[in-house]
Amino acid sequence: MDIARLLLLLVVVNGAPILARWLLGSRGAWPVDGGRRFADGRPLLGPAKTWRGLFAALLAGILAAPLLDLSPLLGLELAAAAMAGDLLSSFLKRRLGYASSSMALGLDQIPEALLPALLAMPYLQLSLAEVLWVVALFFAVELLLSRLLYRLGIRREPY
């Protein structure tokens, strides 16, 4: 059942920035990269990666963890790892020429599930096979939930 708890936490954490944008609009939507550009002239991360979203994810990790019988500190650490994966994927997408908020199948899902799953291994006694299951399940769930949130008018894109 540790796979299910971790998967649920990842879904909550990764959904928090989307819900924060839906609830708060443009309030607090300061870009994490401050609008800076990398040596290639492209944005470092892009305008969609905001401090509001980052803080919403970290807070969601702290609040959701005890509901899943995990410590708030572990929830914070796993949320931070998920957001590090998300920021890494945005950085890589900008280097590859993808526009902000565009879809890069796999690159949009794998880092934000893999990094926290690897971090959780010793705490939840997960095997490498279980880590891979978490990543695969998150990949599928994230794609399905994105479409649902889009149909509900919560997400701007269906991916």
Count of other CB atoms within 10 angstroms of residue 51: 13
Which DSSP string do the residues of 19-67 spell out, in sequence order? HHHHHHTTTT--BTTTT-B-TTSSBSS-TTSBHHHHHHHHHHHHHHHHH
Q: Which amino acid is at 65?
A: A
Q: pLDDT tier at 55 (50, 70, 90 boundaries)?
A: very high
Q: Evaluate if residue 54 carries a pLDDT over 90.
A: yes
Provide the token pair at 1. Answer: 């059942």
Query: Strand pairing partners for 104?
Result: none
Percent of the chain with pLDDT over 70: 99
Burial class (CB in 10 A: 0-12, 13-18, 19+), 10: buried
Query: Nearest 5°: phi and psi at 155?
Result: -100, 145
| pLDDT tens digits, 105-149 | 999 999 999 999 999 999 999 999 999 999 999 999 999 999 999
Q: pLDDT tier at 159 (50, 70, 90 boundaries)?
A: confident
Mean pLDDT throughout 59-77? Answer: 98
Q: What is the mean pLDDT of the chain?
A: 96
| pTM to 2 decimal places | 0.94
Q: What is the dihedral of CA 63, 141, 44, 47, to 10 degrees?
A: -70
